[in-house]
Structure 1
């Protein structure tokens, strides 16, 4: 891959949480940086250019599902790199708004590829922001050592308060070993993005890198989107002196990764030499020649532990267990990052306590 300064980069969804953080690192380093973003009101309370988007980024307000938007952009710039961030991301919301999630995530991806084809453009590289949701509940291990995929917990299980799978323990996901088995509409659409892009780039001998992100949090995340950002939601409750309500028994596990670490992972992936040979990097990713990296802290944290840390920061009342649940929720989601650490010039630098403090300072400046 040539020097960054020679690149023309298109970033879909680039005015969002991750896109703005990434723009601070790369917008001044590449030859041209064009952002396509619809500024959806669920994420952007005010439909105007975010202050956090680097001034070097050219913002095109438009929908990635609109072919006319792509035709206008591609008539002006022929990208050498496409960073595909645009997506509807609400896991629970996707159960009730499946068409919206499929339209943006799946059709938006195919519209982009069709437009590139119409204009005869084959970028040197695609970077896809994927999700830990592609794993669903992931793999579990029985007491005897048998590894199995339990699939989605049923409504009957929830009603009976059977939060875990009896006689088994969850295993951290890893791209090289864990078979993707999404249990949400959102997760299914993200896996579809991976497969669609892989098919396109393999047919054209170009390159794709997939970053499967864990739960991203930190300064810049939406404070108005009730479907994403549990760390932000908990923070605002504790800041008001309220007790944080905890679903199930509090032992739901997630891997919380700070926004700076995620942006740095994209930079490291972009700097990595693209690989187009079938089977390459098989120890890191899945699929034919598609490097696939798990991006997280590598540490599982229960929701109760998270809530307790945030409550302690504000000296708020202790969190309380409600026993409520959300149909379709994954019980445990964490990952191993050793393969990512070995393949990229990257490592997470923000432990949860430091990240939580950094988020609180930012929320205080916003509210």
Structure 2
């Protein structure tokens, strides 16, 4: 692991790709306070931005350029006027299951969008001091497990033949936390593969040109401001809308799937820390809540908030989903001086309170 002690000073210009989305809007106030100029490039995709209008959550001090990061013309337009000191690269198609059916779209946005950005920076001779990449725990796939003798191994992708027989776990094995310095990435979705490609492309390019990189592998991000219309992301908001309508929340597999639900506030503070940390490294770091919860636990807390019926197990499964996923966040704590502040119950309360206050929200 190599690190540098050069710090990114407040002031200057930050450019945020996909910056009108859930995470981008959440970090925009902090960025506007710290930088002289905040420029957001976002195509306002209708799957997330139903109205096609600038989102209210995006800080008014941020300049919004509505354009596609995967088009060379976008970068020629933006970089004529913008000289970024820091880039926060959030732009991505994020649907894990959807990526298996729309692999070209996910690859185009996530991989070509990244390479077009880097080519544009070269073409206009405007290399930033630092790039912060929002990556994903999806790069790990099923991650590492431990056998009965305590030896780590990689079981690989779960197949339909075993899932159809309700064999959810790997017999005799125990899952391990995901840790970038130890866990070998082996994505089981097209989305995960494109996020890993983003990391590799950025690392190779940045090391060649001396650009600092901060790569953050995010676990399951949720919270106020999350899209309520995107059916491919945001299981927590979907659960809230089901419970709001008095429905029993359906639990896939056996309800014991483990996830690391991390509140948007904690993710936002991690990304901002990545932009300003005095110590940076080119290797990925994991961002999560510091603990795992089962899907069943999350659903039960949501049901209790809405006085909805108990969640029920369906035995269904979704291709591309991993069995268990949670992060070892020690590297981010050490390098960035960051730690999460909110537990699951606090986060669900914030999310549900926000959803309840939305004027046009409809039960699912």
What whole-Å deviation, never above 9, does each CA across 1:28-57 have from its counterpart, x for those lacking one? 320111000000000111101001000110
The alignment status of 1:175 with 2:167, answered yes or no, reads no
* Conserved? CA contact 1:216–1:258, under 8 Å: yes
1:191 to 185, 191, 196: 196
Residue number in structure 2 paired with 1:266: 271
- Aligned partners of 1:137 and 1:183 also within 8 Å: yes
Residue aligning to 1:106: 111
TM-score, with structure 2 as normaliser: 0.95
Work out the CA distance in 1 between the residues paired with 2:309 and 2:348: 17
Distance 1:35 1:206 in 2: 20
CA distance in 2, matches of 1:112, 1:205: 16
Residue-by-residue CA offset, 1:147-180 (whole Å, 9 max, x unaligned) = 1101110010111110000010100011111111
The 8 Å contact of residues 217 and 231 in structure 1, kept in 2 or not, is answered as yes
Contact 2:31 2:272 in 1 (8 A): yes
Matched length = 354
Structure 2 residue 170 is the aligned partner of structure 1 residue 165: yes
Which of 236, 243, 249 aligns to 2:241? It is 236
User: How big is the shift at 1:339?
Assistant: 2.3
- Is the counterpart of residue 300 in structure 1 residue 292 in structure 2? yes
User: Which structure 1 residue ranges, 5 or more long, are not aligned?
Assistant: 276-288
CA distance in 2, matches of 1:125, 1:206: 6
1:320 aligned residue? 312
Residue 286 of structure 1: aligned partner = none
Q: Does structure 1 residue 214 correspond to structure 2 residue 219?
A: yes
Q: 2:64 aligns with which of 59, 62, 70?
A: 59
TM-score (norm 1): 0.95
**Contact 1:125/1:274 (8 A) holds in 2:** no
Measure how far apart 1:26 and its partner are: 1.3
Choose from 140, 143, 150 the match for 2:148. Answer: 143
1:171-216 per-position Cα deviation (integer Å, ceiling 9, x unaligned): 0011111111111100000000000000110000111110100000
Task: Please state if 1:226 is matched with 2:231.
Answer: yes
Q: 1:3 to 1:196 in 2, by over 3 A?
A: closer
CA distance in structure 1 between the aligned counterparts of 2:73 and 2:320, rounded to whole angstroms: 36
2 CA distance for matches of 1:166 and 1:291? 32
- 8 A Cα contact 2:247 2:308, kept in partner: yes
Unaligned runs of 5+ in 2: 1-5
Give the structure 1 partner of residue 31 of structure 2: 26
In 1, the alpha carbon distance for the partners of 2:334 and 2:113 equals: 33
Q: Does the alignment pair 1:330 with 2:322?
A: yes
Do the aligned residues in 2 keep the contact of 1:255 with 1:297 (CA within 8 Å)?
A: yes
Residue in 1 that maps onto 2:256? 251
Q: Give yes or no for the alignment of 1:118 onto 2:110.
A: no
Q: 2:355 aligns with which of 343, 360, 363?
A: 363
